[in-house]
Structure formats: C-alpha cells, structure tokens
Amino acid sequence: MLTTQPNNPALHIDAEGNYDLDSHFKQLRSQKRLYTFIGLAVLGAALFFSLWFANETNSGKFLDRLPHLFDFVGDMVPRDGWEVWRALFDLPSPYFDGSLQYNYPEGRVYITQNIYVPEYIYKMVETLNIAILSTLIGFIFGFLLCFLAASNLTTKRWLRFTVRRILEVLRAFPEIVIAGFFLAIFSLGPIPAIIAVSIHTIGALGKMFFEVVENADMKPDEGLRAAGGNWIERVWFGIVPQILPNFLSYALLRLEINVRASTILGAVGAGGIGEVLRLSISRGHEAKTLAIILILFSTIVCVDQLSAYLRKRIVGNQAFEFGA
Amino acid sequence: MNASAMNLSAKMLSPADVLAIKERHPAAFERSLVKRFSVVLCVAVVALYAVYVSWFFAIGKVVSEGNWDIAGTYLADWVSYEVRPDIDFRTGEIVVEFPKFSPLGSNPDPEWITTKSGTVTVKEKSNDDMTQSKPVSSGSFMAPDASSGGAELSFMAPSSTATNMGSNEASSKARDSNLVSTQKEGINQAEIVFSKTAQIIVTPSVVTLVNGAESVVLDVDPLDETVEARGALPEWALQKREGEKIFVNYGFAGRAEVRAKEVKIMRRFFGWENFFFDTNSHYWGKPFSEVASLAISGERIFEGRSNVSLMLDNFLNNAEWQHGDVYIKLLQTIVMAFVGTLFAVVIAFPLSFVAARNITPNRFLNQIFKRFFDFLRSVDMLIWALFFTRAFGPGPLAGISAIFFTDTGTFGKLYSEALENIDDKQREGVRSVGASPAAVQRFGVVPQVLPVFASQALYFWESNTRSATIIGAVGAGGIGLKLWEAMRTNQDWENVFYMVILILIVIFVFDSASNALRSRLIGKQQS
C-alpha cells in the first residue's frame, strides 16, 4: 500500500502527493542494470583469474601449445583406409613388421578353434557390461532405499535423514577413489569399475527416485491404508505402479551416463575399452586408435538413441523435460 | 460400530455379482500373460544376466582371490599411521633403528619403547675367517637365504669341501671358534608396548611376545638365522615355514615381524601424523599454544622473516601432506569445471538458436547443428581429454577443453530443445509491434528461457566438478592425477582420504550453492 505522504522520494511520491511511475521505473531499471553489471564483472574477474591460473599451472602455455592443437590429427592418419577396418576386426595387416602397432590379430579372443571375437568389440562388450551391471545394481538398491527417504512414506525423521545422507555420500564420493581402492585389493580388472560405478549409481538414482516418490499421487495409498494394507503392500500396490515408468526412464538415462563413466574408469586401469584407448593413443597406434574411437562413438550413439527411444515409449515427452 | 460393519458387509459383493462384473469386463480380470508374469519375468531376466556377467567377469574367482587382508590395513591407513622401528640384535647388542623419514622426527625416543642397559656379549667374526665361515652357514638347513642350488651343491658334491659335510653341532663348534666375543656395556633388553596387555620384549637371544593372558617365547639365533618358538604359536602369531620369520598381529595396535637378526615393529597410531608441520619444521612437535604464541609474539626464528610467513610456508610445503600442492590441484579442478562450463554456455547459447527449428526456419541448418551437438557429446569426454592432453600437455587447459567440447554438445542439445518448447505468444506480441528480429529474440524468447538455461548451467557446473576429478587422472590436470598417484603407491591412503574430504567439501558447497541459485531462478519445486 502506498501512503500518500507527500514528497517522499523513496516511494516516488512527488510534492503534490502523486505516485511518479516514471521515476520509479527508471530507478528500478538502473538498479537492475547495476546488479547485472556487478554480476558480470564478478564473473569476468573470476574467469580472468581462472584462465590465468590454468595457463600458469599448465605444463605448456596456451599460446605456445596452440600450434600443436591438431597434432593428434596427424597422429591419427592411418596408412590406408582399410587399416581401420583391419584393426577393428583383427585382420592381419600388410604393414606388419613384428611390432605391436600393426599386429592386429594378436588381440583376438577365441571362442572356438576358428571363431574369434575381435579385441575391441570384446572390450566394448566388457565396458557395456560394466555399465549395465552397475546400473542394475544401482537400480535395485536405489529402489529399495528411495521409499525410506521419501517424506510421504517414511514418517520417522531420523530414518529419512540417515538414508538421505547415505545417498548423498554415495553420490558425491569420487568414483576414482573407490576404483583405486578396489584396484589395490583385486589388482587390475573390471570389478573395481563395477563397484565404483555401482556405488555412485545407487546414490544418484536413489536421490532421483525419492523425489519421484514424493511427487506420487497418494490416493491409491490412502485406499490401501483404508483397506488395512501394511506398509509394504501400500508401497508395492499403491506407489510402485505409478512411479515405475519414471524409475525406468531415470535408469536408462543413468545407463547412458554409466557407459561414459566406465569408459573413463577403464582408462585409469579398470579394464574395458578405455584402457585400450589410452594405451593406443599413448603408443601412437593410429589405426587402432581410430578403430577404438569408431566403435566407442557408434556404441555411445546407439545407446543414447536406444535409451531415448525407450524413454519416449515409457514416459512420453516428459522424459526430455529438464531435470531428467 | 457393529451396525456400520453390518452395513458394510451388506454392501459387499456376492459371488454372483463378481461373476457378472467379470462377464461385463473380461479384460479387467484376465490380463495378458506377459503382464501377469511381468515381475517373475523381470526377475528371471535379471538372474540370467547376473549369471552371465559373473561368468563373463569371473566375479567369484576375482573376489576370492582378492587381497582382503590388505584391505583392512589400507582402510586403517586412512585414519591412522604406522611407526616402524627395527630392533636389531645381530651383533649381540640391541640397536633401535628408525627409518630415515620416520614420522617421529630425526631423533625419536618414544615412550612405548623402553630399553635396559647391562653387559652384552658382542660376537664378531674375525676378518680372516670370513671366507671359511660363509659356506658353513649356507650348509645350515634353516638358512633362509640358502637357495636350493646351494643345498644341492653341498650335499651332492660332498668332496668339494670337508667343512660342508659337518653336522649342525660340528658347524656351530667351528663357528664359535671363528668368532671373537667381547664383553661390553650396552643395551641388552628392549620392551615395545603395543597396548596395556600387549608387549614384545626383545633380548639378543630371546623374544617374548605377550598378548593378554597368552605369551610365547621365541628363540632367535642371528648366526644360525633361525627363529623357533618354545611351544605352540597362538592364533595371533604366524610362522609360514619352520625356522623362518614369525608374523605377529596385534590388531589395530600394530604388527611385528620377528626375524633371526631383528624384530621389525609396525606400531599403529590413530590420527594423521604431522598434519600441520613436518619433522623439518621449526614448529614440529610443539603444542598448539606454543605455536600460537610464537606466531603472535615470539622472537623471530629467522632474521628478517616473520614467524607467520615461515609457519605458512612450513605448512604449505609439508613434505608428507603437500598442502600447497593439494590446494593448487584442487583449485585447478574447480577452475576446469568453471571455465569449461562457462565457455560451453557462451558458445552453445547462440548456436542453440540456430539449431531450434521454431527460431531458425531452415531444416538444413537445424539438422547440421543438431548433429554437430550430438557429435561433440558422443565423442566421450575421455577421448577429448586424451587428445587435449596431447595438444596442451598435462594440466588444466586439457581439462577445460575436454569439458568445454563435451558440454557445448550437451548444452546445445538441451538449449535447443528448451527453445523449441517455448510459448510463441510472447514472440508474436513483440513481433506485432514491429520489433526487429534481434529484438524479438531478446524480448520475446530470452526472458522465457534464461532462467532455465542458467539453471541447467549451474547443474552442470556442479556435476562437472565431479567429472573433472576423474578426467584429471588421465592427465587432464587437477586433483585427479594427484589422487591417482597417491593411491598407486599404496602407502599414502591418509593423503587420499584428506583429498577425498576436500573434494567432498567442495562438491557439497557447490551443490548447495547451485541448488540455492537454481531454486531462486526457477522456483522451489526444482531441486
């Protein structure tokens, strides 16, 4: 409410007691401009400092290294176009000189005497299995935990609080440390990656799941409660049918993320396609690198497309709204 | 109450009613086979897949072969440290030696090691007998360093040297004759206290292990190189082969290895050792009050340099914890996520207007940009990181570029999808008053999408801080590599834990900041 006290500049009331819209608008606009300017200035200063810091602490300076930006393209030119396919399917190369660089058949994984799986396809399957298995584990445990973290289903505050904090820690704990710890126990192999990605997935899916559960329609739950259903029956018949599509959608989204995560963990020693990619790039095996990038790229595109298609079928366009 | 229950039962359906309903709506009662068994089917598929992957990864074998004993030690290392003195008695006199970089400093005298002095008999081999005594000791059955080749030589070729044929008794006589014994003053007993009930008492010939009510006496012979227990060993002591070293396990309090010539002590203490100042610092080992008074009012330790600056320098350059380096690396990780995300937003923002088909009515351009975004996104962050590490050398520039490239794709996709879902009325309104195309975008589109865009950027800023930790390990700068190196040595788990705590703090702070800003931008319901 505006008081009609005359000559109050703070309320933009002039000497005659009229509200002066124009001056108020101008003042608000200049205030907003000032805030925008301050915000941008802070952002700019932070950016400037960050860039300077990154350049200072980098092993090569940005401008010195810029001409080398596309060095890797030169490293990746194969000797002929067929080399990539030979590397991908482990066929013998005409350039074979005894070195590892052109020794494609060496990596073959034989199933029977004559039938083999090409190395990189096998490794890709390994990475995919890491991702699928850890998504599955994350889904199962996230599913079990999320109802305990939802405020509409769990009335005990301490239980909800504990479960939420556990999920948060599982989500935020750096995957690389879990992987490194289990690498020390199991030595090299994919199991540490499975454990690391699973633990992160439990936390991430658990958080998304309980938010879905909290938004669920409670009418079926009330009905079951009135009919004398116990807690598990209420959850299973009242809540689960309405939230399952969203759960599946989130799990598929997680699968996309987990394929990438298990590739990266592979590069630090946890097996799969990431490891061979890192080795191949550092050794400068151009055809092998190209073959791996080809298979990795196409797998990621396929997984993304498949997941997008399935999500669209499960929950419709809602799957692509922000927050997913 | 009774009446209402009666009423309810009266309203209940009779079997005939149920049949009638079934007849009217058969579909509601007979669900398809797939639907009825969907739960069983899902469980079966998951179980089958579990069997397949456990075969594929040989999970059972790997888990059973895992080095589980060491896992406990590594976990204990996160929050505790070991001090490892050697109690050496090979000459007959006890010498307590600490490794060069012991956490107790250069001249340690901990109270959990007590020594007693007395007369000791020091046996030394006379120089001219060295050559003769050597084959004798290798002829001994229990010598741990006697290889099978050596044993074969001495038994299969008895004619080589006469002394090699000697029995243990004969050789020990021969050995005694080669030794020069001298009596002198020295330490003849050392007691190492692990806890109130667990001790190890070392004398040059006998080591006594005490653990609660149990105790065991071990005879050690530095010259014969044998360790033998009088009586059966308890559960907490382990001898893998007869006559060789005995492993003693006192749980969290520590471990020990009783060898023929020395006892290796690994005594564990809770906490992070020398967290603030390392043993070379002037502030090392001083209580907090003294450090504080030195900092505020004390005499200058070095001429021309304030105590506070020395303290800061000592702290940041702590040799064990490397605080300075850790903070720089952590800042690199934060910077990588910040700059990478910011650049990605700045580039993706205009490009998404071209990719959105309701804003740029050119299908060809839309498709080109959308596929370009897909490409950037699908070439994994790892691949970008590896390439930019090659281009820029290891460091944050590679990390920034990797995050920038991947996220330009992600933001481009998300932003163009958001633009395609905007409300057209505002654009029409702005256009209808004769605004230029640029003004239409500025006042008809941007106000609608800006909060969503900013919110997405903040969300990814937080999640990129996490990703930046991981890609650092492949050389793209930041704390990832430092973490990875600390883990690879298997020695510095306490440093790993320290860095993990720092990362967790950063992530929690960013998470809360990003959530708070986002809920201000687009309302509370988004989390």
Q: Which residues of A touch B500 (CB under 8 A)?
A: 173-174, 177
> Would you say residue B212 has pLDDT above 60?
yes
Neighbour-count burial of A6, counting CB atoms closer than 10 A to its CB (0-12 exposed, 13-18 middle, 19+ buried):
exposed
Q: Which two tokens stand for residue B360?
A: 């740029």
H or E segment at B116?
Answer: strand B113-125
CB contact set of B350 (below 8 Å; sequence gap of 6+): none
Give the structural domain span for B126.
79-270
CB contacts < 8 A, A to B, total 186
Mutation target to probe the A interface, by most A beta carbons within 10 A, among B38, B39, B397 is: B397
pTM: 0.80
CA B519, CA A168: separation in Å to the nearest integer?
A: 19
Q: Answer whether residue B264 shows pLDDT above 70.
A: yes
Q: Is residue B353 part of a domain?
A: yes
Confidence of residue A4 (pLDDT cuts 50, 70, 90): low
Task: For residue A320, list chain B residues with Cβ-Cβ distance below 8 A.
Answer: 417
| Chain B interface includes A65 (CB < 8 A) | yes
CB pair distance less than 8 Å for A293 and B71: no
Same domain, B368 and B488: yes
Three-point CA angle B329, B502, B323, nearest 5°: 55
Residues of B in contact with A54 (CB under 8 A): 332, 335-336, 339, 395-397, 400, 477
State whether residue B423 is helix, strand or coil.
coil
Cα B22–B25–B31 angle (5° rounding)?
A: 85
- pLDDT tens-place string over residues B79-102: 888 888 888 888 878 888 887 777
On the question of pLDDT at B406 being above 90, the answer is yes
Give yes or no: residues B447 and B482 share one domain. Answer: yes
One domain for residues B314 and B335: no
The per-residue pLDDT for range B63-83, each reduced to its tens digit, is: 888 878 788 888 888 888 888
Contact A37, A44 (CB under 8 A): no
Contact with chain B for residue A324, Cβ under 8 A: no
Quick one: DSSP state of residue A125? H
| CA angle at A169 for the pair A164 and A175, rounded to the nearest 5° | 140
Kind of pairing, strands B237-239 and B226-230? unpaired
Q: Do B336 and A180 touch (CB under 8 A)?
A: no
CA angle A311, A317, A323 (to 5 degrees): 80
What mean pLDDT, rounded, does chain B reach? 80
On whether any CB of chain A is under 8 Å from the CB of B446, the answer is no
Q: Does B471 fall in a domain?
A: yes
Backbone phi and psi for residue B263, each to the nearest 5 degrees, phi listed first: -115, 120
Highest mean pLDDT: which of A57-61, A217-221, B291-295?
A: A217-221
Residue B138 clears pLDDT 70, i.e. is over it: no
- CATH at residue B465: 1.10.3720.10
Question: Distance, in angstroms, between B52 CA and closest chain A CA?
Answer: 10
| 3-class DSSP state of B319 | coil
Residues B506 and B330 sit within 8 Å (Cβ to Cβ): yes
B336 chain-A contacts, CB cut-off 8 A: 54
Closest to B394 (Cβ–Cβ): which among A59, A185, A320? A59
Verify whether the Cβ–Cβ distance A177 to B68 is below 8 Å: no
Q: Report if residue B171 sits inside a domain.
A: yes
pLDDT for B125: 62
Inter-chain touch A185–B66, beta carbons under 8 Å: yes
Q: Which of A138-152, B153-167, B319-333, B459-473 has the lowest mean pLDDT?
A: B153-167
Same domain, B312 and B437: no
Using CA atoms, how far apart are residues B114 and A271, in angstroms rounded to an integer? 50
B290 with B308, same domain: the answer is yes
Interval A67-121: pLDDT, tens: 777 777 777 777 787 888 888 888 887 877 777 777 777 778 887 788 888 889 9
pLDDT tier at B342, thresholds 50, 70, 90:
very high
Question: Could you state, in order of their start, the residue ranges of all structural domains in chain A?
Answer: 9-57, 117-320
Question: Average pLDDT for residues B398-414, to the nearest whole number?
Answer: 92
Q: Is residue B426 part of a domain?
A: yes
Same-domain status, B362 and B496: yes
Q: Per the domain annotation, does B74 fall within a domain?
A: no
Same domain assignment for residues B363 and B265: no
B218–A contact, CB cutoff 8 A: no
Using one digit for the tens of pLDDT, what is the confidence trace for A8-45?
A: 666 777 777 777 888 888 989 999 999 999 999 999 99
Whether A264 sits inside 8 A of B471 (CB atoms) is yes
DSSP string, A253-315: HHHHHHHHHHHHHIIIII-SHHHHHHHHHHHT-HHHHHHHHHHHHHHHHHHHHHHHHHHHHHH
Strand partners, B258: B246, B263
Cβ A175–B59 below 8 Å, yes or no? no
Please report the residues numbered 4 through 43 in chain A whose beta carbons come closer than 8 angstroms to any beta carbon of chain B: 43
Backbone CA torsion sign across B245, B250, B256, B259: negative
Looking at the structure, tell me whether residues B284 and B266 fall in a common domain.
no
DSSP state string for B173-201 = HHHHHHEEEEEEEEEEEEEEESSSSEEEE
* Predicted pLDDT of residue A165: 92
> Which 318-347 residues of chain B touch chain A by CB within 8 A?
328, 331-332, 335-336, 338-339, 342
A323 pLDDT higher than 90:
no
Distances (CA, A) of B389 to A124, B96, B379: 23, 48, 15
Query: In this complex, do B391 and A72 lie within 8 Å of one another by their Cβ atoms?
Result: yes
**Residue of B476, B503, B512 whose CA lies nearest to B327:** B503
pLDDT score of A258? 93
Confidence of residue A194 (pLDDT cuts 50, 70, 90): very high
The pLDDT of residue B523 is 67
Q: Which residues of B touch A60 (CB under 8 A)?
A: 392-393, 395, 397
Looking at the partner chain, which of B67, B338, B511 has a beta carbon nearest the beta carbon of A185? B67
A123/A127 Cα distance (integer angstroms):
6
> How do the residues of chain B divide into helix, strand and coil, expressed in percent and rounded to 5?
55, 15, 25
Q: Scanning the structure block, which residue is given the tokens 């590397």?
A: A87
Evaluate if residue B527 carries a pLDDT over 50.
no
Of B68, B336, B382, the CB nearest to A263: B382
Nearest to A72 among B374, B387, B507 (CB): B387
**Does B55 reside within a domain?**
no
| B404 and B303 assigned to the same domain | no
Cβ distance B383 to A296 less than 8 Å, yes or no, reads yes
> A155-159, B126-130, B155-159 — which is least confidently predicted?
B155-159
CA distance B89 to B203: 8
Would you say residue B178 lies in a domain?
Answer: yes
| Segment of B181-185, B208-212, B402-406 carrying the highest mean pLDDT | B402-406
Cβ distance of B392 and A263 shorter than 8 Å? no
Closest Cβ opposite residue A129 in set B53, B387, B392: B53
- From chain B residues 37-96, the ones with a CB under 8 A of any chain A CB are 46, 49, 53, 56-57, 59, 62-63, 65-68, 70-71, 74
Task: Give the pLDDT band of residue B317 (cuts 50, 70, 90).
Answer: confident
Q: Which of B258, B288, B321 is the last residue of a domain?
A: B321
Q: Is B471:A264 a contact under the CB 8 Å cutoff?
A: yes
Residues of A in contact with B506 (CB under 8 A): none
Residues B386 and B310 both lie in one domain:
no
Residue B248 in any domain: the answer is: yes
CB contact under 8 A, B395 and A57: yes
Same domain? B146 vs B175: yes
- Indicate the DSSP class of residue A91: P
Looking at the complex, does the CB of residue A183 fall below 8 Å from at least one CB of chain B? yes
C-alpha distance from A16 to closest chain B C-alpha (Å): 35
Domain A117-320 homologous superfamily, CATH: MetI-like (1.10.3720.10)
Q: Quick count: other Cβ atoms within 10 Å of Cβ B299?
A: 6
Of B417, B423, B368, B415, nearest in space to A317 by CA: B417
Place of tokens 């992160």: A200
What tokens were used for B343? 């650049």
If asked whether residues B166 and B283 sit together in one domain, one would say: no
- From residue A136, alpha-carbon distances to A139, A173, B409 in Å are 5, 19, 27
Q: How many domains does chain B have?
A: 4
Q: Any idea what the Cα angle at residue A300 is, between residues A297 and A302, rounded to 5°?
A: 105
Say if the Cβ atoms of B397 and A58 lie within 8 Å.
Answer: yes
